[in-house]
Amino acid sequence: MQKTKRFPVFYTVYFIFIALVLVLIHIGLGIVKTYLADYESARPQYEAERVFAEYYASGDFGKLVDQCEVPLTEYETADTLCRYLTAFTDDKELTYSQITTGLDTSVKYIVKADNIKFSAFTLKESDKKTEKGFSLYEVSDFELYCAANETVSITAPKGYTVLVNGAEVPDTALSGEEAKDKSCSFMPEGVEGIVYLEYVIDDMYLPPDSVTVLSPDGRECTVTAEGAVFTADVLYEEVIPEDRNAYIIDAAKAISKYMQNDAMFYSVSGYIDPESELYEYLKTSLTYFVIKHNSYDFEDVRTSEFYQYDENTFSCRISFTHVLKRTNMEDYKDYIDTTFFFRRVGDAFLIYDRYNH
């Protein structure tokens, strides 16, 4: 009889053992791999990547600004800061980098635009856990390192209301600098001429969208700008009272006729304050040194820039062409453009000074 050969028991046990070890190693590696993947998913860099994409790389800074406590003047809003950040980061490469070790429960990242630091955010361990019990990170706070370096200067007549981006500028913003209009040199004692005051606003992120200056009666002035320096013009009266307008024109024509030897001084003296230097000047003028003419006329008579300084003092600008007509000769045209200053003397307003433009 032939004897059957059997596989040795030793090798059977050996290979079964090897197979079991390989299975156990495979299972162990799967467990470790799952464990490591779970651990890796809880690392802060993934949350940092998400935060950077949402709050910075998107270019929509509204969410970022909402998360930050940034001091703003009363003339700017969160939208202003968003526009500032958009302009600041425009065409720049945005990057972020970790600046803490992450060995504690929080990690901080710095955000740069072309290597200029302008923000930071911090991640902290949250109450949320992974499947294996690792703490997940969440953003805890944001910081902005923006420079509010804009300074705005606004010069406006005294007594006017100044508004920047719709908000009224208080007197606390006055710099103390004053600029006196030419009228101040012609004011009687105790009467103030037109004075310009300067308002200065610091710590703005952007130049203002609007600067509005209103006169005491609510009319809007013309405002000119050179960079961040704004200047408002004084507003004269829109309508000159009819009786005063006629009186001013009569006075100016009377003086012009007198200076061309077409009237006597008494026809002028009723318009001039006898206590003024102007009265004495006109009275002693050598009016016979004039251009000879046969007749005269007044053309293009215009009054403007009427301004009431107080109830007893006002000024008005008047311009016209005094045409001197000459026989067999071309007319001589004398162009008059003068501001007259009037003050109350008794019951009448009389001219006490003037200047030519």
Q: What is the pLDDT of residue 36?
A: 45
Hey, what are 133's tokens?
Answer: 């019990």
Q: What is the pLDDT of residue 16?
A: 67
Hey, what are 285's tokens?
Answer: 């003028």
Short-list 146, 172, 154, CA closest to 208: 154
Burial of 214 (0-12, 13-18, 19+ CB in 10 A): middle
Query: Structure pTM?
Result: 0.79
Distance between CA atoms of 30 and 101, rounded to whole angstroms?
30
Residue 339 Cα to chain centre, angstroms? 35
- Asked if residue 84 lies in contact with residue 159, where contact means CB atoms within 8 angstroms, the answer is no
Taken in order of first residue, the domains within the chain and their CATH numbers are 41-144 (3.10.450), 150-232 (no CATH), 242-356 (3.10.450.50)
Q: Which long-range contacts (CB under 8 A, 24 or more apart) does 100-108 make?
A: 102/44, 105/135, 106/140, 107/44, 107/48, 107/137
The DSSP-derived string for 25-70 is: HHHHHHHHHHHHHHHHHTSHHHHHHHHHIIIIIT--THHHHHH---
Hey, what are 346's tokens?
Answer: 């008794």
Q: What is the pLDDT of residue 206?
A: 94
- Asked if residue 118 lies in contact with residue 124, where contact means CB atoms within 8 angstroms, the answer is no
Mapped onto helix, strand or coil, the DSSP state of residue 241 is: coil
Helix residue spans in 260-314 (DSSP H): 266-269, 277-283
The DSSP-derived string for 186-199 is: GPPTT----EEEEE
Q: Sign of torsion, CA 227 231 232 236?
A: negative
| Residue found under tokens 């302009």 | 87
CB atoms within 10 A of CB 320: 21
> Average pLDDT for consecutive 10-residue bins of the chain (357 residues)?
59 64 59 49 76 92 92 93 94 91 78 94 78 70 91 96 97 94 94 96 94 95 95 93 95 93 90 94 76 90 96 97 91 94 95 95
